[in-house]
């Protein structure tokens, strides 16, 4: 089964995830890039600085003194009508936390790349989804790529989605630190002219404009704040349908499309393992190996984390047993996993009685071996055959404890 | 057919770049390929691993580190001689070890405990010192690797080098690859 139809036999560019993002930003003709240029920043902004220096991209590149300022500057630029971009990772995103809510509350259209990494303490520069998951409730649209092609495509889709008048919300595009950001793999780059035709710059209804002064992010007193927030929540809900439309148009232009939630090997499966991010491919490999051993397990791939896609519960409620693989620990929460909390809630609201097993893996860059992925798939299969009880707590894969 | 290669080196020798050059060349050849380093804090001198997968038919989905390589390319002979368990423990039977060493290849053969694998030896350090005046051996090792690995045409390795390095740096690296190729002793 082909996960990404892009890898046809045509010549593709060898690109790291970081460079794939930078090329997409260039191709979207972004006007302003703001970045705090040292750790935990990535080569995304290094490559963009090269594009600006060489004249390949006509943009203002702002070096700022922190990630808090990087996002603030991008918000200011976007509010004035510019197409803005920044990128961050780990502690950088954590430092932006306050400003994340301001971007979504001010209904700022922009795109930010998040190269996912673990959070301190202890200090750890390696990959997991702690930063991504901890930012899921900040009002941003979150698209999670599984390979570098998707990282490139989601930046382009992100601008189109973000700037729609019925959405007007910031978009975060996640790619896994190191596992994608530092991995060279084939990527189909599109003709920049064609990309710019797909995401044309349009005059927005309200921008900061000295000719026609307005205020953004001003006081919302108890008489109005509530209404603003309801409108924001509705816009994020609309972003789901808007994404489907943008994705379908993207497919007409470029021949690739990505469902917010995709099930592979669903038809005859006894259970579905839900995953997201770069190790989707590793789990797919494990699922295919287990199926050759007769274990009928399917894979559910989440590519849109916020808004949480309604079809997740619709599809998953048909299965008695669900596995959820999460690369972050949700400390002290009901299930211990961000992803399980969402999936369990959506299944409960659907009236489904599916049982969920949570698998935590790859924390702080712990290598994910094929045996680890196979362990998860086989464990879930034993549960589906009632050879094993459904554990109430997460199964910690690959931990020495 | 899927091939998996691990480049073993020390920080500063260019193992990561070697794997990247191979992936560049493979993708330029229309193959599916993937290269990534073992992720660590970068320190000069510390053991480094870089992984390279290539497939002429099937896309590569998995992202787990290569666990059972078809070949290992060893940029520093100390990594072969002094690590326990030896780095070739999980090398596939009939697999290849490509080693940078100044030792007599036959004697090196005796040191390698696996008798079911083949070795190719090149004195990459002396070639690198001659060409670069520094012991950056990655491209010389690629030359040695190409002697026993025929999935990617040499012209695309050169193309990859030219797209990754500036002109004069590219030319000297291509020279290193050729010298590495010519001076490799193969023991089956």
Q: What is the 3-state secondary structure (H, E, C) of A104-160?
A: HHCCCCCEEEEEECCCCCCCCCCCCCHHHHHCCCCCCEEEECCCHHHHHHHHHHHHH
Q: pLDDT tens-digit profile of A136-160?
A: 999 999 999 999 999 999 999 999 9
Domains and CATH numbers, chain A: 7-254 (3.40.50.970), 262-396 (3.40.50.920)
Q: Would you call B6 an interface residue with chain A, using a CB distance cutoff of 8 Å?
A: no
First-residue to last-residue Cα distance in chain B:
22
Write phi, then psi, for B97 (nearest 5 degrees): -110, 120
Q: pLDDT tens-digit profile of B51-76?
A: 999 999 999 999 999 999 999 999 99
Query: Smallest CA–CA separation between A14 and chain B, in Å?
Result: 5
Q: Would you call B58 an interface residue with chain A, using a CB distance cutoff of 8 Å?
A: no
Q: Would you call B162 an interface residue with chain A, using a CB distance cutoff of 8 Å?
A: no
Number of neighbouring beta carbons within 10 Å of residue A389: 10
Task: List the single best residue of A124, A127, A185 to mutate versus B (max B Cβ within 10 A).
Answer: A185
DSSP H stretches of helix in A28-125? 43-54, 67-79, 90-105
Query: Smallest CA–CA separation between A238 and chain B, in Å?
Result: 32
**Which uninterrupted H or E stretch holds B39?**
none
Task: List the single best residue of B4, B19, B64 to mutate versus A (max A Cβ within 10 A).
Answer: B64
Residue of A125, A182, A186 with shortest CB distance to B27: A186
Q: What is the mean pLDDT of chain B?
A: 94
**Which residues are within 8 A (CB) of A299 and not within 5 positions of it... i.e. 6 or more apart?**
A263, A264, A265, A272, A273, A274, A275, A280, A283, A284, A287
Quote the CA–CA distance of B117 and B68 in Å, as a whole number: 13
Name the residue with tokens 């803005």: A84
| DSSP assignment string, B116-130 | SSEEEEE-HHHHHHH
Residue ranges covered by each domain of chain B: 2-187
Mean pLDDT of B170-178: 97
Burial class (CB in 10 A: 0-12, 13-18, 19+), A317: middle
pLDDT score recorded for residue A8: 44
Write phi, then psi, for B104 (nearest 5 degrees): -65, 120
Q: pLDDT tens-digit profile of B96-152?
A: 999 999 999 999 999 999 999 999 999 999 999 999 999 999 999 999 999 999 999
Please tell me whether the peptide bond between A386 and the residue prior to it is cis, using omega within 30 degrees of 0: no
**Which residues are within 8 A (CB) of A108 and not within 5 positions of it... i.e. 6 or more apart?**
A74, A75, A78, A79, A168, A169, A170
pLDDT score recorded for residue A141: 99
pLDDT score recorded for residue A4: 44
Q: Would you call B116 an interface residue with chain A, using a CB distance cutoff of 8 Å?
A: no
Name the residue with tokens 């290539």: B54
Is residue A55 over pLDDT 70? yes
Is residue A34 within 8 Å of residue A74, measured between CB atoms?
yes
Q: pLDDT tens-digit profile of A294-330?
A: 999 999 999 999 999 999 999 999 999 999 999 999 9
Whether residues B61 and A285 touch (CB distance < 8 A) is answered with yes
* Model pTM score: 0.96
Cα separation values, B157 from A116, A315, B152, B170, Å: 32, 46, 7, 11
Quote the CA–CA distance of A36 and A58 in Å, as a whole number: 20
Write phi, then psi, for A264 (nearest 5 degrees): -110, 140
Whether residues B30 and A127 touch (CB distance < 8 A) is answered with no
Give the neighbor-by-neighbor strand order of the sheet with B71-74.
Answer: B32-37, B47-55, B2-10, B71-74, B96-100, B118-122, B185-187
Chain B environment of A367 (Cβ under 8 Å):
64-65
Name the residue with tokens 């896994």: A176
What ipTM score was computed for the predicted complex, to two decimals?
Answer: 0.94
Whether residues B59 and A178 touch (CB distance < 8 A) is answered with no
Tokens of B99: 């080693």
Nearest CA in chain A to B160: A14
Task: List the CATH code of the domain at B2-187.
Answer: 3.40.920.10
User: Number of residue pairs across A and B with CB atoms under 8 Å?
Assistant: 82
């Amino acid at each position: 089964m082909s996960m990404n139809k892009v890898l046809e036999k045509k010549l593709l560019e060898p690109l790291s995830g970081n460079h794939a993002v930078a090329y997409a930003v260039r191709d979207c003709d972004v006007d302003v890039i703001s970045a705090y240029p040292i750790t935990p920043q990535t080569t995304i902004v290094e490559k963009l600085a090269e594009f600006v220096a060489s004249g390949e991209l006509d943009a203002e590149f702002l070096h700022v003194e922190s990630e808090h300022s990087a996002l603030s500057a991008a918000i200011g630029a976007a509010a004035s009508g510019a197409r803005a971009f920044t990128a961050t990772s780990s502690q950088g995103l954590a430092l932006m936390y306050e400003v994340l809510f301001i971007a979504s509350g001010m209904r700022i259209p922009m795109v930010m790349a998040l190269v996912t990494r673990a959070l301190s303490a202890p200090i750890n520069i390696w990959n997991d989804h702690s930063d991504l998951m901890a930012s899921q409730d900040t009002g941003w649209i979150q698209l999670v790529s599984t390979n570098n092609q998707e990282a490139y495509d989601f930046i382009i889709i992100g601008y189109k989605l973000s700037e729609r008048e019925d959405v007007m919300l910031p978009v975060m595009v996640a790619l896994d630190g190191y596992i994608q950001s530092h991995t060279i793999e084939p990527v189909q780059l599109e003709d920049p002219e064609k990309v710019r035709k797909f995401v044309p710059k349009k005059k927005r209804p309200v921008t900061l404009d000295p000719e026609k002064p307005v205020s953004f992010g001003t006081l919302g007193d108890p008489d109005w704040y509530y209404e603003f927030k309801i409108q924001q929540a509705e816009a994020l809900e609309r972003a789901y349908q808007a994404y489907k439309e943008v994705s379908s148009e993207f497919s007409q232009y470029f021949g690739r499309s990505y469902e917010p939630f995709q099930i592979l090997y669903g038809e005859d499966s006894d259970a579905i393992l839900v995953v997201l991010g770069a190790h989707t491919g590793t789990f797919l490999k494990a699922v295919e190996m287990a199926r050759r051993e007769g274990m009928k397990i399917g894979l559910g791939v989440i590519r849109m984390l916020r808004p949480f896609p309604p079809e997740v519960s619709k599809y998953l409620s048909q299965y008695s047993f669900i596995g959820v693989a999460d690369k972050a620990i949700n400390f002290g929460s009901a299930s211990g996993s961000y992803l399980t909390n969402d999936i369990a809630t959506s299944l409960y609201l659907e009236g489904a009685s599916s049982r969920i097993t949570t698998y935590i893996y790859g924390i702080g860059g712990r290598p994910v071996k094929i045996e680890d992925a196979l362990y998860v798939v086989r464990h879930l299969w034993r549960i589906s055959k009632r050879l094993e009880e459904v554990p109430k707590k997460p199964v910690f894969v690959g931990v020495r404890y | 057919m899927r091939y998996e290669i691990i480049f073993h080196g020390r920080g500063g020798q260019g193992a990561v770049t070697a794997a990247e050059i191979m992936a560049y060349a493979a993708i330029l050849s229309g193959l599916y390929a993937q290269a990534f380093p073992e992720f660590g804090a970068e320190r000069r001198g510390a053991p480094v691993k870089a992984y390279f997968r290539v497939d002429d038919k099937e896309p590569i989905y998995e992202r787990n580190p290569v666990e059972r390589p078809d070949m290992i390319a060893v940029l520093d002979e100390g990594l072969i001689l002094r690590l326990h368990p030896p780095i070739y423990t999980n090398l596939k039977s009939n697999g290849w070890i490509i080693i940078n060493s100044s030792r007599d290849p036959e004697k090196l053969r005796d040191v390698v405990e696996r008798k079911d694998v083949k070795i190719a030896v090149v004195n990459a350090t002396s070639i690198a010192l001659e060409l670069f005046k520094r012991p950056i051996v990655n491209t010389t090792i690629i030359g040695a690797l190409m002697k026993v690995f025929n999935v990617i045409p040499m012209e695309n390795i050169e193309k990859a080098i030219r797209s990754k390095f500036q002109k004069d740096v590219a030319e000297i690296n291509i020279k290193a690859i050729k010298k590495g190729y010519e001076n490799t002793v193969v023991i089956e």
